[in-house]
């Protein structure tokens, strides 16, 4: 009987602890977060589309304009990260600010900005690829696998 009483006490403690966890766990507004991600990501893509239209209007061919647009968006993402604006965009947009190419630029520049106190070589130079390195490796690996699959299925 003594073992059963200890087991019940343990169950009560677990239930009480779970109640405390439920009280302090932050409540997430999933719908609001999804809407903000959609709006921020859509706005970034709209800006990219406007830049693409400007480049094609200036006489660049479609492929050249797309490359120039990608480079411009990466520059803007890196620049806005450098001056601290992209972090504020990320607070409101969440995944909407991470998914576009500007989020990739942010993932390269942000660790470098944090490490700038350690100097340009050991801080910025070393930390720049902390997050971008795995992203690049994954991208290269997937592109090779897709290329092989295309070759085999062709």
pLDDT digits (tens, 9 = 90+) for 43-86: 999 999 999 999 999 999 999 999 999 999 999 998 998 888 98
- Judge contact between 55 and 61, C-beta under 8 A: no
State both tokens at 132.
């971008």
- CB-based burial label for 149 (10 Å; 0-12, 13-18, 19+): exposed
pTM for the structure as a whole: 0.63
Q: How confident is the model at residue 17 (pLDDT cuts 50, 70, 90)?
A: confident
pLDDT of residue 9: 72
What pLDDT, in 10s, does the model give residues 110-149? 776 766 666 666 665 666 666 666 767 777 788 889 989 9
Angle separating helix axes 85-93 and 30-57, nearest 10 degrees: 130
Q: In whole angstroms, what is the distance from residue 63 CA to residue 99 CA?
A: 22
- Identify the helix (H) or strand (E) that includes residue 40: helix 30-57
**pLDDT above 80 (res 3):** no
Quote the tokens at residue 114: 């944090």
């Amino acid at each position: 009987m003594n073992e059963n009483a200890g087991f019940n006490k343990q169950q009560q403690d677990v239930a009480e602890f779970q109640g405390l966890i439920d009280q302090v766990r932050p409540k997430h507004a999933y719908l609001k977060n999804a809407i903000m991600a959609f709006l921020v990501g859509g706005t970034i893509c709209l800006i990219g589309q406007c830049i693409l239209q400007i480049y094609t209007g200036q006489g660049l061919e479609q492929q050249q304009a797309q490359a120039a647009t990608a480079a411009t968006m990466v520059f803007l993402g890196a620049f806005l990260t450098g001056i601290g604006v992209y972090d504020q965009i990320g607070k409101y947009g969440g995944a909407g600010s991470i998914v576009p190419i500007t989020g990739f630029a942010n993932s390269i520049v942000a660790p470098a900005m944090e490490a700038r106190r350690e100097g340009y070589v050991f801080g910025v130079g070393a930390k720049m690829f902390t997050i971008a390195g795995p992203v690049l490796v994954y991208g290269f690996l997937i592109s090779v696998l897709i290329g092989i699959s295309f070759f085999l299925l062709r």
